[in-house]
């Protein structure tokens, strides 16, 4: 008998579809309506760090260079007080097969799908991950479908998203393009069910385990090149996978004193689910529209329990502006001869400011770069902004207003990241978790929530008014 394909019916079969599409029964990890066994979920991949490194090495992924940005470091020191201005390094993830760190996630997920006998893989993404999955699927001999939220209701797509769709298709994937709205997850589930493909989710334990090699490599390369661990690693934050995987890799390497800092573009005031706001933003990832909701409610992703849980790992959450990131993109090209895309430069913009807080002998690592070109370049992004009535000018980034203007700093000294209210985000996660569960938390639940936000039980009780 044919299954009902209306919205409510498909969404109601979510857990069943996910179980078939991942080969994981998430019910096995549940401890209560609030708590689950996160460590067991991560171990469920069955792969050691060494095995993941081997898989990635076979498929053009990993062992990317760690580059010192000497000229940008000199410029940062110009604006720092005497004796300050950390050495800035960047992990050049554009050297991976499809041009971003997302290849690390995809290599592991696609290899596991092939091992389990799936004929194809799917991913719901408008970003670099689609290209990474398409690349790895082509390399490993599987079919690939990418479901992409691409257009507003007038059929207008952002240059960066359209560019990524072209790349996915060039790598042999079928791309299903949708308008902004709730149909993305419904369509994804429906096609997963129809095809029987593997869900190569950004938020599966396979995907996050793949990023652990990035953190581990950063640690090993710093020790080899510099004889010390990095003092700070800055990660662009959207869905939380970069922060989570990189931090876990650093921990596995023994970097217990390294500070992990998240970085997002501040798009306060723009709704990511709004058709009107969809094309008012001049960047498509690495912004607070994804970073904050996924940090405070990680399980609203495309799996029952997300393996990306950034508040467990971040020591600080900083924000920058669209104009600062675009300025930093030009700075990287003009001062270092490295032309890269905007996602990694989000972390670099914050790193430029953060380096000025650290002494000269400190080591600050930006965890990624990404490929650029065509619609991903800042010129088409700025042209698109102007076409949508956004003012573009030089000035003070503190006057930035998302959806109204893009302000390029009139000089590098104006690049100043801001600290987001991490305490508020942690309290939000705690309250949302308890409200969603609809039960009084037990002592075990309180301990779980303390781990979720990298705090103690007293912090959790205070957040709940207990």
pLDDT digits (tens, 9 = 90+) for 314-352: 999 999 999 999 999 999 999 999 999 888 899 999 999
pLDDT at residue 375, as a whole number: 82
The string of pLDDT tens digits covering residues 372-402 is 988 888 899 999 999 999 999 999 999 999 9
Nearest to 273 by CA among 243, 300, 304, 307: 300
Distances (CA, A) of 402 to 158, 162, 280, 281: 16, 21, 8, 7
Residue with tokens 């857990």: 15
User: Which residues are CB-neighbours of 270 under 8 A, at least 6 positions away?
Assistant: 277, 280, 281, 289, 402, 403
Looking at every residue in the chain, the average pLDDT score rounds to 94
45-59: average pLDDT: 96
CA atoms within 13 A on the CB side of 231: 16
Do the first three CATH levels of 28-53+100-205 and 62-98+212-272+279-419 match, i.e. the same topology? yes
Residue 126 pLDDT > 80? no
Cβ–Cβ < 8 Å for 223, 293: no
Q: Which two tokens stand for residue 43?
A: 């171990």
pLDDT at residue 274, as a whole number: 86
Interatomic CA distance for residues 414 and 405, integer angstroms: 17
Q: Exposed/middle/buried for 78, CB within 10 Å: 0-12, 13-18, 19+?
A: exposed
Residue 220 pLDDT level (bands cut at 50, 70, 90): very high
CA atoms within 13 A on the CB side of 333: 15
Q: Which two tokens stand for residue 355?
A: 């380096």
Residue 296 pLDDT > 70? yes
Return the domain boundaries, the chain. 28-53+100-205, 62-98+212-272+279-419, 422-464
pLDDT at residue 15, as a whole number: 82
Residue 452 pLDDT level (bands cut at 50, 70, 90): very high
pLDDT at residue 260, as a whole number: 98
Interatomic CA distance for residues 305 and 299, integer angstroms: 5
Higher per-residue pLDDT: 154 or 261: 261
Interatomic CA distance for residues 352 and 324, integer angstroms: 10
Residue 1 pLDDT level (bands cut at 50, 70, 90): low
pLDDT at residue 354, as a whole number: 98
274-300: average pLDDT: 90
Interatomic CA distance for residues 299 and 433, integer angstroms: 10
41-45, 177-181, 308-312, 447-451: which range is least confident on average?
177-181
435-441: average pLDDT: 95
19-28, 399-408, 447-456: which range is least confident on average?
19-28
Cβ–Cβ < 8 Å for 231, 363: yes
CA 343-346-351 angle, to 5 degrees, is 140
User: Which residues are CB-neighbours of 51 under 8 A, at least 6 positions away?
Assistant: none
pLDDT at residue 94, as a whole number: 97
Which residues partner with 123 through β-bridges?
Answer: 146
Residue 182 pLDDT level (bands cut at 50, 70, 90): confident
Interatomic CA distance for residues 313 and 149, integer angstroms: 29
Percentage of residues in the chain with pLDDT exceeding 90?
79
Q: Which CATH number fits domain 62-98+212-272+279-419: 3.40.630.30, 3.40.50.1100, 3.90.180.10, 3.20.20.70?
A: 3.40.50.1100
Residue 184 pLDDT > 90? no
Nearest to 192 by CA among 160, 237, 146: 146
DSSP characters over 318-338? EEE-HHHHHHHHHHHHHHHS-
Give the DSSP H/E element, type plus range, for residue 195: helix 183-195
For the chain, the straight-line distance linking the first and the last C-alpha, in angstroms and rounded, comes to 51
Higher per-residue pLDDT: 283 or 192: 192
Interatomic CA distance for residues 348 and 370, integer angstroms: 12
CATH fold group of domain 28-53+100-205: Rossmann fold (3.40.50)
409: left (phi over 0), alpha (psi -120 to 50) or beta: beta
Q: What is the pTM of this model?
A: 0.96
The string of pLDDT tens digits covering residues 238-268 is 999 999 999 999 999 999 999 999 999 999 9
């Amino acid at each position: 008998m044919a299954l009902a394909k209306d919205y409510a019916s498909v969404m109601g079969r979510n857990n069943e579809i996910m179980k078939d599409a991942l080969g994981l029964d998430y019910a096995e990890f549940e401890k209560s309506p609030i708590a689950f066994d996160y460590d067991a979920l991560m171990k469920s991949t069955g792969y050691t760090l060494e095995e993941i490194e081997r898989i990635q090495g076979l498929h053009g992924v990993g062992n990317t260079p760690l580059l010192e940005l000497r000229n940008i470091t000199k410029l940062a020191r110009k604006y720092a007080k005497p004796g300050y201005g950390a050495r800035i390094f960047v992990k050049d993830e554009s050297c991976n097969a499809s041009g971003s760190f997302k290849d690390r996630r995809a290599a592991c997920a696609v290899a596991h799908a092939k091992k389990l006998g799936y004929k194809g893989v799917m991913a719901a993404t408008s970003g670099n991950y689609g290209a990474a999955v398409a690349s790895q699927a082509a390399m490993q001999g599987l079919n690939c479908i990418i479901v992409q939220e691409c257009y507003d209701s007038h059929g207008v797509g952002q240059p960066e998203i359209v560019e990524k769709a072209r790349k996915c298709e060039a790598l042999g994937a079928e791309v299903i393009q949708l308008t902004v709205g709730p149909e993305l997850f419904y369509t994804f589930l429906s096609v997963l069910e129809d095809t029987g493909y593997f869900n190569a989710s950004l938020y599966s334990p396979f995907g996050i385990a793949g990023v652990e090699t990035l953190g581990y490599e950063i640690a090993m390369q710093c020790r080899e090149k510099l004889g010390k661990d990095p003092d700070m690693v800055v990660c662009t934050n959207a869905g939380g996978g970069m922060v989570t995987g990189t931090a876990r890799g650093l921990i596995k390497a023994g970097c217990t004193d390294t500070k992990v800092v998240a970085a997002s573009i501040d798009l306060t005031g723009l709704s990511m689910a709004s058709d009107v706001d969809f094309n008012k933003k001049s960047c498509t990832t690495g912004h607070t529209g994804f970073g904050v909701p996924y940090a405070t409610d990680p399980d609203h992703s495309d799996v029952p329990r997300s393996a990306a849980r950034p508040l467990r790992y971040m020591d600080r959450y900083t924000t920058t502006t669209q104009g600062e990131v675009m300025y930093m993109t030009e700075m990287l090209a003009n001062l270092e001869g490295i032309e890269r895309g905007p996602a990694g430069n989000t972390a670099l913009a914050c790193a430029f400011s953060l380096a000025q807080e650290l002494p000269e002998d400190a080591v600050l690592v930006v965890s990624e770069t990404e490929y650029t070109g065509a619609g991903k370049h800042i010129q088409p992004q700025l042209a698109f902004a102007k076409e949508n009535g956004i003012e573009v000018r030089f000035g003070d980034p503190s006057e930035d207003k998302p959806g109204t203007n893009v302000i390029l700093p009139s000089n590098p000294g104006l690049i100043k990241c801001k600290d987001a209210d991490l305490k508020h985000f942690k309290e939000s996660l705690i309250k949302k978790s308890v409200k969603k569960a609809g039960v009084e938390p037990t002592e075990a639940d309180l301990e779980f929530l303390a781990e979720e936000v990298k705090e103690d039980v007293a912090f959790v009780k205070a957040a709940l008014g207990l």
